[in-house]
Amino acid sequence: ASGDGKPAKFQPPPKPVIIDKQKQRAERRFLSPEFIPPRGRTDPLKYYMERKDMIQRRKVFNIPEFYVGNVLAVTTADPYANNKSNRFVGICIQRGGKGLGATFVLRNVIEDQGVEVCYELYSPRIQAIEVLKLEKRLDDNLMYLRDALPEYSTFDVNMKPVSHLDHEEIPVNKLQVRMKPKPWSKRWERPKYNIKGIKFELPESKMKEAQKWSQPWLEFDMLREYDTSKIEEKIWKEVSEGLKK
């Protein structure tokens, strides 16, 4: 009550905010990047036919949601192996290709030898894909792990899958990776690669010299803009309806 003398205006109590966990779960939707067609002059009928085939394959064989930077285990059919199948565990360093030719590269260090294997997502030889650890990293492309110390690319082949709750956000691992001494396979300090996940221990003069190759006009270039939001909406509807059937 205020010291005015007049009766205080009735303030209704604040309404309780109910956070529905189920709604939160439905909000996060993930559309695999290979569904989005690239910009070009091809007939959209071609991408429509590819998407139908991709949805067919996904109905038969489950392709889980995964990002660059998480650890996967892939079993493929191999006619020359003992059990006729081959299991490889590794960290996903890049996802390329669109449509049925979508690929992902897994990297691991086995007995002090770095091994990278490129798998096609929709290949009929793949028998199982398991996500052992679901997390994102600071970059889209982890090719710099080739020039990093081998401890950042080693993963135990018999690693147990780390459980991940459905409604939580995907954790972003802000790990800064330490590199081997130069020369590297690519000049990762240059702004063209835009890498945030390396702890550069180079002198200031080298970092300044690398900024000479920066192209600050690129982000304002209107001809390079490719707005995929509307396309993604349509494709998301198509894919989710196709998978529900």
Binding site for another protein (CB under 8 A): 41-43, 45, 49, 53, 56-57, 60-61, 77-79, 84-85, 124-127
SS3 88: strand
Closer CB to another protein, 125 or 192, in the complex: 125
Buried b / exposed e along 171-207 (16+ C-beta atoms within 10 A): eeeeeebebeeeeeeeebbeeeeebebbeeeeeeeee
Closer CB to another protein, 78 or 140, in the complex: 78
Closer CB to another protein, 41 or 244, in the complex: 41
Closer CB to another protein, 62 or 215, in the complex: 62
Distance CA 20, CA 147 (A): 45
Closer CB to another protein, 77 or 218, in the complex: 77
Q: Smallest gap, in angstroms, from Cβ of residue 59 to another protein?
A: 8
Q: Smallest gap, in angstroms, from Cβ of residue 80 to another protein?
A: 9
Nearest to 72 by CA among 3, 133, 126: 133
Q: Smallest gap, in angstroms, from Cβ of residue 17 to another protein?
A: 46
Distance CA 133, CA 156 (A): 12
Q: How far is C-alpha 21 from the chain's CA centre? A: 24
Q: Smallest gap, in angstroms, from Cβ of residue 41 to another protein?
A: 7
Q: Smallest gap, in angstroms, from Cβ of residue 23 to another protein?
A: 34
Report the greatest alpha carbon distance in the chain.
93
Residue 2 vs residues 11, 12, 13, 14, 216: alpha-carbon distances, Å? 13, 16, 17, 19, 59
